[in-house]
Amino acid sequence: MSLDKILSIGGRPGLYKLLTQTRSGFVAESLIDKRRISVGINSDVSLLSEIAVYTLEEELPLKEVFSKIKLKENGGKTSVGPKEEKIKLEEYFFEIVPDYDEDRVYPSHIKKIIQWYNLLHDNGIDDFDTADSTGSEEE
C-alpha cells in the first residue's frame, strides 16, 4: 500500500487508511486498532504522500524521509523512541536529514515522524520507494 491512501486526521491519534469516499466525506480505518470512522469533508486531513519536511534548500517529501529511516534502520523500527529527550530526537533526525531546517522542524514534528514510521512498519507498510511519477530524484 502506498502513502497515497494513508491519512493523518487532525485531533485524532495515529494514522488511518482511506477505505471509501461518501457524499459527506469518507470512511477510514485506524492503523492502531482497526476501527472504522466516518470523517466529514470539513475535517483537517492530510495525505502522507503530500507532507514534506523543511530543509535548508527545499522541502523533502515525507516518503523520502521514511526511506532514509528504513535504510538507516535496515528495514526495522527506529532505534530512538518518540518519547526520548528533545536532544536525542534532534540528533537522530540530524543523522537522517542532515540539512533539515531546525527553525521550522520542531521536536514535536520529529516525534510524529518517528511514531508514524513505526506505526507504518508495524502494519507492514514499508514501500517508500521514491522512484515514482513525482519526478526524478537528485542524489
pTM score: 0.88
C-alpha cell, 98: 542532515
CATH of 52-122, one of 1.10.3210.10, 1.10.10.1650, 1.10.510.10, 3.40.309.10: 1.10.10.1650
**What does the H/E/C string look like for 66-120?**
HHHHHHHCCCCCCCCCCCCCHHHHHHHHHHHCCCECCCCCCHHHHHHHHHHHHHH
Domain spanning 3-48, CATH class: mainly beta
Whole-angstrom distance, CA of residue 111 vs CA of residue 98: 17
**What ranges do the domains of the chain cover?**
3-48, 52-122
Calculated CA dihedral for residues 77, 79, 83, 87, nearest 10 degrees? -140
Would you say residue 132 has pLDDT above 60?
Answer: no
Cα separation, 17 vs 129, in Å, equals 19
pLDDT in tens, 1-51: 789 999 999 999 999 999 999 999 999 999 999 999 999 989 999 999 999
